[in-house]
Amino acid sequence: MEGLQISGLRCSVEGKEILKGIDLSVEPGKVHALMGPNGSGKSTLAFSLTGHPKYEVTAGSATLDGVDLLDLPADKRARAGLFLSFQYPAAIPGVKVPNFLFAARQAVRPGELTPSKFRALLLEKMDVIGMDPSFLGRYLNDGFSGGEKKRLEMLQMAVLAPKYAILDETDSGLDVDALKDVGESVKALRASDEGKATGFLIITHYPRILAHIVPDVVHIMIDGRIVKTGDAELANRIEREGYDVIREETRALA
């Protein structure tokens, strides 16, 4: 079945159950926003899908265009077309940005591009998302501002052209201008020229990034469960009323 399909997913961390049966589908080219208060399990979902060894999936399934993700190690999940943007990208002094990006591209699409063709692709993608070529002379995230780190992740995503991208708290610590830049980057990358359009799962606590990336679907996660799904207006409601109202509605229906 096409799409990122999650069904009945349960996940534990150090013996404590965090995800309590998640059902979620992300279609190619669509933007899904997953919102919820801190500690609701949003990042646990991201790490369980991408294969972090600390996160133990105890039940349920997750497939990517029909491929069983849970049977694959983390590197093969990436090769299948899954991308994760971290909340706090690591700095690696001594590793130049283009060298890292070429290695990443080779890891998921080995032998597809020569170094010269890759450089041409890299410059093209930098132009699309409005990045200064001076980034190519810098070490990976070394001395980068929060906004620069996020822009570099957007470039990495553009270079890898994944089928589905999970952006985990990508708005964390960003100012208004950096948020706008990330939003513009995602818009530019929604339709990949190397395959079908990328589907996005944007994980966030606050709805402010959704002012720059309008979601097709919004999901609310509370206490390890998705308790409400709606359109972009649901995010606006969270902005006005907060999560406690949704929590109380959920309890009333239980």
Q: What is the pLDDT of residues 36-68, one digit of tens each?
A: 999 999 999 999 999 999 999 999 999 999 999
Please state, in angstroms and rounded to a whole number, the distance separating the CA atoms of residues 183 and 210. Answer: 8
- pLDDT for the residue 95: 95
Please state, in angstroms and rounded to a whole number, the distance separating the CA atoms of residues 180 and 2. Answer: 31
Is 80 exceeded by the pLDDT of residue 171?
no
On average, the pLDDT of the chain sits at: 90
- pLDDT for the residue 88: 77
Which amino acid does the sequence have at 69?
L
Is 70 exceeded by the pLDDT of residue 254?
no
pLDDT band at 127 (very low <50, low <70, confident <90, very high): confident
Average pLDDT, integer, range 148-175: 86
Domains, the chain, in order of start with CATH, read 27-57+73-253 (3.40.50.300)
- pLDDT for the residue 213: 87
pLDDT band at 34 (very low <50, low <70, confident <90, very high): very high
Average pLDDT, integer, range 170-184: 77
Average pLDDT, integer, range 203-232: 91
- pLDDT for the residue 179: 80
Is 70 exceeded by the pLDDT of residue 173?
no
Please state, in angstroms and rounded to a whole number, the distance separating the CA atoms of residues 179 and 232. Answer: 18
Is 70 exceeded by the pLDDT of residue 191?
no
- pLDDT for the residue 194: 54
pTM for the model stands at 0.90
Average pLDDT, integer, range 154-181: 84
